[in-house]
Structure formats: structure tokens, C-alpha cells
Amino acid sequence: MNSKKVYPRTGDKETVYLKSTITKPNIIVGDYTMYNDFVNDPTQFEKNNIIYHYPVNNDKLIIGKYCSIACGAKFMFTAGNHNMTSLSTYPFPIFYEDWGLNSSNIIDAWNNNGDILIGNDVWIGYEAVIMQGIHIGDGAIIGTRSVVTKDVPPYTIVGGTPAKQIRKRFSEEVIAKLIKLQWWNWDDDIVQKNLTNIMKGNVNLLGGL
């Protein structure tokens, strides 16, 4: 295993280990998280999929390990907002030169909802949109073309616009065991030894030793 390479599959230029393509300090991606794009260059994820992420806000995109992100998924950040407490939604602070405003107040043009946090082993479906400030728990699934406007609990499947809970992936007992085990933090060789049980859903047979 080598989570540092860009293309994990021989001959496949549509799929990348995302961490190896990231250059910006406010984007943090865990090992083995993959992104597939059959429309655009997947190595351009920062440019094409992370929207309105301006350094002036200091907000972060944090994605855990072993996530699967499908083609066209978007992460919409704070600067895509307009200030809802203003009497006008027009972003006057952006055009500070025209209106005699202080350039240091440019962030007053929008409401800052904070970081986007994606847990481990999350599957984000085709063209899904994750809005600013959203937290998605470990093991969650985001359905195709969903628009996620609320936090998603661990191991929960959501879908629709706005995204709503469809069901839990497993029983509460199994979810509790998986959250306690945190297999995604195991060393590569331990994960490999447990692959059969991970893939077959044998949670009671998983072991980190």
C-alpha cells in the first residue's frame, strides 16, 4: 500500500488519492481518501470542487481517511454566502472601492459558518453539494446530487434537496462498535489482515492486534 501516490490504479487517470493532489494549507485530507472524475482532471480537485474558499476567511475543509468522493461533488464555502442580517443581500463590502468602505471589512459581505468537516470512511455521491459549516460523521453516505445543509450523524444515509435522513447503515450496537474500533486509524498491515471481515461486515471479528 502507498497512500502517497497520486494514481492508485494502473492505467486509470480518472481516480486519485486526493491527499497527494492538495497544495493549500486550509485543505486537509486523510490517507487513502479517493476522488474519481470522468469529466475533469481529478488532480484539479482544489480548483474545480472547492467553491468560494477564500484565504481571508481562514475556514478549512477537513476530510478524513478512506473516504470515497464521486465525480462532481462540491464543497461550498462561506464566501458563497451573502449577509442575511443586512437589509440588502447585495455584497457592498466586496466593492469597497466604489462605496468608500474599508477593504479590511470585506468579510462582512457574507455570514461565516465555519469549517466543513468530513469524517472517515464517508461516501459522497455524484454531484452532491456539501454546504459551509457542515459536519459529516464517520461512515455516512451522501446520496447522488444531494444538497447537505445540516450535519449528518455517523453511519447515516442521507439524500435529497435538502438532504434528509433515509436510514442508518447498521444497528446502533454495530455503529457503537465501529466508532469505538476506529479501524481507519489502524496501521496498514492491520487493516489488510482485517480486510475480509471489513468487506463482509463481520464487525465482531475485527481486531486491531
Annotated active-site residue 82? The verdict is yes
Q: How far is CA 78 from each of CA 54, 55, 61, 103, rounded to the nearest angstrom? A: 8, 11, 11, 18
Map the chain to HEC letters: CCCCCCCCCCCCCCEEEHHHHCCCCCEEECCCCEEECCCCCHHHHHHHHEECCCHHHCCCEEECCCCEECCCCEEECHHHCCCCCCCCCCCHHHHHHHHCCCHHHHHHHCCCCCCEEECCCCEECCCCEECCCCEECCCCEECCCCEECCCECCCEEEECCCCEEEEECCCHHHHHHHHHHCHHHCCHHHHHHCHHHHHHCCHHHCCCC
Neighbours of 48 (CB within 10 A): 15
Active-site residue, selected from the candidate residues 7, 48, 68, 82? 82
Instruction: Give me the active site residues, please.
Output: 82
